[in-house]
Amino acid sequence: MDQWVKVERYCLIGHLVAMAFGLAGLLIVMPHPELLALLPAGSTLFQWSMAGGGVVYILLGTIAVGLYAYRTLGLRNWLAFMVPAIGISLTSELLGTSTGFPFGNYSYLSGLGYKIAGLVPFTIPLSWFYLGLCSYLLAKAGLGKKLGGLGQVGAIVFGALMLTSWDLYWIQR
């Protein structure tokens, strides 16, 4: 097996483990903090996860999807997606956090890593890249053959809709 495929798989597995660990923390430990006393080094693990768990989760996901994109789409197509995705998302997030346009005033807490311009954690544009690419690839797999030439346009529209639906949850809160 190619060395890059191994790294891609290890990162994906690490991403999934980090996701499960984070969900366990939110669903089990946060409502029942007394459980930390039952685990060896429970409070230390919890502090580590709160300090860097989100960063690790997003970086592993970004690396896994980036390697997959490079391997399957090639360097040019990978960069043609990644550069605008990160640029557009960073610009949108900076605009939103500094002016409140278009979603209203919001800000990020410090758990997602270094903030660009003191406003947006560097991990946020990375997450938009890898979730955006996953949304597009899922849409393309589902629509590509069914719509013929319109499949590409449909995949872009449906992928954008899937990615945007991720934020609809936060707008309602």
DSSP letters spanning the chain: --HHHHHHHHHHHHHHHHHHHHHHIIIIITT-GGGGGGSTTHHHHHHHHHHHHHHHHHHHHHHHHHHHHHHHH-HHHHHHHHHHHHHHHHHHHHHHHHH-TTT-S----GGG-PEETTTEETHHHHHHHHHHHHHHHHHHHHHTTTSTTHHHHHHHHHHHHHHHHHHHHHHH-
Q: Are 28 and 35 in contact (CB under 8 A)?
A: yes
pLDDT recorded at residue 38: 81
Separation between Cα atoms, residue 89 and residue 105, nearest integer Å:
17
pLDDT recorded at residue 141: 86
C-alpha separations of 104 from 66, 98, 101, 172 in Å: 31, 10, 6, 12
pLDDT of residue 172 exceeding 60: no
pLDDT of residue 113 exceeding 70: yes
pLDDT of residue 98 exceeding 80: yes
C-alpha separations of 26 from 19, 33, 167 in Å: 11, 10, 19
pLDDT of residue 110 exceeding 90: no
**What confidence tier does 154 reach under pLDDT thresholds 50, 70, 90?**
confident
Q: Which amino acid is at 66?
A: G
Q: What is the mean pLDDT of the chain?
A: 86
pTM, whole model, 2 decimals? 0.84
Separation between Cα atoms, residue 96 and residue 102, nearest integer Å:
6
